[in-house]
Structure 1
Amino acid sequence: MSTTVSTPDGEQTCAYCGSRIFAHDPICVRDCDDDCGSPAYFCNYACLSAHVGQKGLTAGNACEWSPGQ
């Protein structure tokens, strides 16, 4: 599997809040379990975290941890 990396244009907006990503600390995310589709850009970790929480993307994907084990 191969992925091409390229820099988004200067007007690229955040997938969560719509702000221009380069006005902040941008993050690029790809879903490589689904053929490494188009990247999603977020202006910072707070927007990425909010997107993950809002979409429920951790449900069923995280390891279970129990302090008693």
Structure 2
Amino acid sequence: MPPDVPATVSTADADETCAYCGSRISDHDPIPVRGRDDGCGSPTCFCNYACLSAHADEQDLSAGNACEWSPGE
């Protein structure tokens, strides 16, 4: 295991709400997201992929995180 990844991580509370829409995550099949910047500790949970995708779009989180691709090449 790389040294910057902790051996244990915490899980979300059943009463925790979606980081995007505010729905209780226990009413859905939540998607926990752990950021490398916060030490991979407590996850930020989204109630579904639609909320995760909308959050990523609004925060422009995917910009610059992928290989460049030009359809004309």
Q: TM-score, normalised by structure 2?
A: 0.79
**Counterpart residue number, 1:49:** 53
CA-to-aligned-CA distance 1:11-68 (integer Å, 9 cap, x gap): 0100001100011110000111x13253200000000000000000011112111123
For residues 51 and 64 of structure 1, the distance between their equivalents in structure 2, rounded to whole angstroms, comes to: 22
For residues 21 and 41 of structure 1, the distance between their equivalents in structure 2, rounded to whole angstroms, comes to: 7
Question: Match of 1:11, as an amino acid?
Answer: D
Structure 1, 6-15 or 46-55: larger mean CA deviation = 6-15
**Counterpart residue number, 2:10:** 6
CA contact (8 A) 1:25 1:44 kept: yes
Question: Match of 1:40, as an amino acid?
Answer: T
- Structure 1 runs of 4+ aligned residues shifted over 6 Å read none
CA contact (8 A) 1:30 1:38 kept: yes
Structure 2 residue 21 is the aligned partner of structure 1 residue 17: yes
**Counterpart residue number, 1:63:** 67
Equivalenced residue count is: 68
Q: TM-score, normalised by structure 1?
A: 0.82
**Which consecutive unaligned segments of at least 5 residues does structure 2 have?**
none
